[in-house]
Chains A and B, each alone.
Chain A
Amino acid sequence: MSIISALSQTRDKVKDVKFFVPFASASLAFVAGAIILGSAGVDVGNAYAIMFRGAFGSVFGFGDVLLKTTSLILVGLAVSVAFRCRQWNIGAEGQLYMGALGGAIVGISLIGAVPGIAILAVIVVSFIFGSLFALVPAVLKVKFGVNEVISTVLLNFVAFLFIAYLLHGPIKAPGFNPYSPEIFDESQMPIIFPGTRLHAGIIIAGLATVGVYYLWKSKIGFEIRSVGANIKAARYAGMNVGRSVLITLGISGGLAGIAGGLLVSGVQHVLIEGISPGYGFVAVIIALLGRQHPIGVAIVAFFFSVLMTGSETMYRSLGIPGAFSMTLQALVLVFVLVGQLFVIWLSRRNGRGVR
């Protein structure tokens, strides 16, 4: 019994630290960011104050924070679902673009439909587009053992170039810019807070978060988690590994696809080449920092959205380039990951020999 009590005690201690470390790490990232800003001759206090005000200082600004959060939650969930199955889907950006294409096609072809139905069609079709696009690397992996990291990364470029081709030719609207025609009103997500750009898509992001939470409590979720945790054990226990990979990447791509569909239906109302500022790539960081837990992903997504929105204000007011925002994101990632290593080191040191 003494072993057991010793064990639970060290675990409790580690738990306390575990909770505290990520926040300390993130704070340190801001300190490191301050050093960079300071060495460039910027008044650091003022810069961070402006960043904070950009995100929380106005209704419009905060609306934008939640707007970005919507996209980031969806792509973050997409990547984290795949990660739970040990499928390194780095192609969420491409899947987002294909989803945007799907949403745009519905939006510019569905006229006269009941608005609710049209919006539902946008979501379903953008899910399917993203999903099918993610199934390409999934099938390659299951049938031929192609490493999904490489295939998903490369398929991003296929998606970008395919959409560029469409926007310069087949679906280009009349005029100078390579835009698609504007989608009809029926397919546009309603703004839910006047005076902001925040649309009803955030409800969908919330539903997706809850959905993923319950996914892990479901039968298929158990199979997916098992395959991710230990593929040998899963196969030994009679689980269908190939099917799990297909379903996982299908869901993953679909969630990223919805993020794309919402950008067309709720924000731009047209399909353009640079419709996402790299949400699908930030998603990888969000999934890592959120530890692939839906609630964690939602929290980190909000935090990153604050960072991105605040940085935009910093750029507009002080001319601090957007690259600083990315630097800060990277710093947060590095510091939090090192913090996690610290926690692991701590629990190993405490737990050593007890097992």
Chain B
Amino acid sequence: MKGITIRFGEVVANNNVTFELRKGEVHALLGENGAGKTTLMSVLYGLYQPQAGEIIVKGQKTSIKSPNDAMELGVAMVHQHFLLTVPHSVTENIIVGLKSNGFFLNLSSAERKITQLSEKYGLKLDPKATVGDLAVGEQQRVEIIKALYRDADILILDEPTSMLTPQEEKALFSTLQSMVNQGLSIIFITHKLHEVMEASNRVTVLRGGKVVGTVNTSETNETELAKMMVGRPVVESIQTKGPAKKPTVLQLKKVSALNNSNIMFLKDLSLELREGEILGIAGVDGNGQAELAEVIAGLRKVQSGEIVMGNRPITNIPPRKIREWGLAYVPQDRLDTGLILEYSIAENLILDRWYTGEYSGKVFLRRDEMKKFAQKVVSDFEVKTPGIDVPVNSLSGGNLQKVLMARELARNPKVLVVHNPTRGLDIGATEYIHKQLVKQRENGVGVLMISLDLDEILTVCDRIAVIYEGKIKAVMDRKDADVEYIGLLMGGKAVLSSEGAS
């Protein structure tokens, strides 16, 4: 790809980007969110047409107008969010949409080919399994085989490790190696440095839509890459205090709850959160994290067990009461649950307190007070917005999260539950959110941070609990935390030690 330039309105997403992929290499594409990585790859995959530049595939100058064109050139993309139909089998998902399908599907020959492919590249997979029953790592293998089945030899992986356990991640990296050994070429989009170091042969760093440089992985290190990526040195980790024994602000006693499919998903879960600490909940997605957050917030019914906040029982109490008693909650889904996208900043900020005398009279909302609040938040939290009256869907992810955090923190909570608070945010916004969490801790708030990002948990938390299949497997102080051990616990592999859950 030579001199690729693409603009959206006046925003230049890629500025004269030149990128070269050699046959048989894993090439990492590194950059912060918004650096233009995904845009560049979308150009290669035919989703966007560049305003300038050319694409040369296997020595041939080509124009890629659609994913179908890309597919024909052997380029395939595995998206961050899988595009699979959950009730169908692995085979059905793989052959869907192929032109060679007749009126009746020839599943058995497809299954043979899938088995061959999975053996060739060491991608263990049962072609007859239902996709909905598979773990995230296995679903990813389905996506990869789907690409290989279509004879792709250039594979784009968009942040492939974001949902994987450390073990699954290792397995993926070894698969990548065996694929390049057999002549495939792989582009690996990521913003995690250690992944670049572990998995790639070369790395191209993007910043602000421009190429900072391309280097051989063996000739660089994480610090250098971090500098290239952010253009400034990164603060390594945030200071934590020693674990002084403080009073408990939130306690879950043998709590059980159903998930959305009415399966018991939290099983006798017990947990204790102390004043002035950040307790991290580590775990692979889908082990009861969402359910845990929701039972605390009163949004999910507790089947058995008890939850106590301060000295008040809050088991199956309406959400509004729990909030009034001092809970703040930042849900993982800021777009779908935390905020109403067509509302303005002001309206979003009063979503949980519109009924209070502060922001409404007997009948009507107090627009002036709402606006004052919004202006204060915009300046205090440095929210970048075209104005306080525009719908928040014009804000970037980091700014949306700031608005959401601002609303929750303005409650002066005793307990703050945050779920994946920095997912999808760039380094700057992530740092900002982490600082806010630490500030809350300094003020004596008990912070429960549920996160899929183990690095994040290791960076900010005082204590770490590991959740697996709806139970807390172990709780440890951060200074005692060992990544390998946590990884094993997250995968459910470690034997439960006797002191186990607190």
B11 near A222: Cβ-Cβ < 8 Å: no
Residues of A within 8 A of B386 (CB): 4, 7-8
Given contacts A7-B394, A219-B365, A355-B396, contact A236 B355 (CB under 8 A): no
Chain B positions 277 through 301: 1 when the CB is less than 8 Å from some CB of chain A, otherwise 0: 0000000000000000000010100
With beta carbons under 8 angstroms apart, the residue of B48, B337, B342, B354 that contacts A232 is B337
A219 near B39: Cβ-Cβ < 8 Å: no
With beta carbons under 8 angstroms apart, the residue of A219, A238, A353 that contacts B8 is A353
The CA of A237 and the CA of B340, in the complex, are separated in Å by 11
Residues of A within 8 A of B363 (CB): 218-219
Closest to B355 in A: A219
Please report the total number of B residues contacting A with Cβ < 8 Å. 41
A222 near B365: Cβ-Cβ < 8 Å: yes
CB distance from B85 to the nearest CB of A (A): 24
Closest to B333 in A: A232
Residues of A within 8 A of B337 (CB): 230, 232-233, 236
Chain B positions 21 through 53: 1 when the CB is less than 8 Å from some CB of chain A, otherwise 0: 000000000000000000100000000100000
* B352 at interface, CB cutoff 8 A: yes
Q: Which of A1-39 contact B (CB under 8 A)?
A: 2-11
Residues of A within 8 A of B333 (CB): 232
* A217 at interface, CB cutoff 8 A: yes
With beta carbons under 8 angstroms apart, the residue of B13, B299, B351, B355 that contacts A353 is B13
Residues of B within 8 A of A350 (CB): 9
Given contacts A2-B11, A222-B354, A353-B8, contact A236 B299 (CB under 8 A): yes
The CA of A237 and the CA of B351, in the complex, are separated in Å by 6
* A64 at interface, CB cutoff 8 A: no
A7 near B9: Cβ-Cβ < 8 Å: yes
The CA of A59 and the CA of B365, in the complex, are separated in Å by 43
CB distance from B330 to the nearest CB of A (A): 10
* A352 at interface, CB cutoff 8 A: yes
Please report the total number of A residues contacting B with Cβ < 8 Å. 33
* A214 at interface, CB cutoff 8 A: yes
Residues of B within 8 A of A3 (CB): 10-11
Q: Which of A317-355 contact B (CB under 8 A)?
A: 350-355
With beta carbons under 8 angstroms apart, the residue of B318, B331, B360, B384 that contacts A238 is B318
Q: Which of A194-212 contact B (CB under 8 A)?
A: none
Given contacts A226-B340, A229-B342, A353-B39, contact A236 B297 (CB under 8 A): yes
* B393 at interface, CB cutoff 8 A: yes
The CA of A58 and the CA of B228, in the complex, are separated in Å by 78
CB distance from A295 to the nearest CB of B (A): 18
B340 near A235: Cβ-Cβ < 8 Å: no
Chain B positions 330 through 342: 1 when the CB is less than 8 Å from some CB of chain A, otherwise 0: 0101001111111
A5 near B355: Cβ-Cβ < 8 Å: no
Q: Which of B115-145 contact A (CB under 8 A)?
A: none
Residues of B within 8 A of A222 (CB): 347, 350, 354, 360, 365
Q: Which of A217-244 contact B (CB under 8 A)?
A: 217-219, 222-223, 226, 229-230, 232-239
Residues of A within 8 A of B299 (CB): 235-236
A233 near B396: Cβ-Cβ < 8 Å: no
The CA of A50 and the CA of B9, in the complex, are separated in Å by 49
Q: Which of B300-357 contact A (CB under 8 A)?
A: 318-320, 323, 329, 331, 333, 336-343, 347, 350-352, 354-355
The CA of A2 and the CA of B15, in the complex, are separated in Å by 15
User: Known contacts A6-B8, A7-B9, A353-B8; can you find 7 more A-B pairs with CB under 8 A?
Assistant: A2-B11, A222-B350, A229-B342, A233-B336, A236-B337, A238-B323, A353-B48
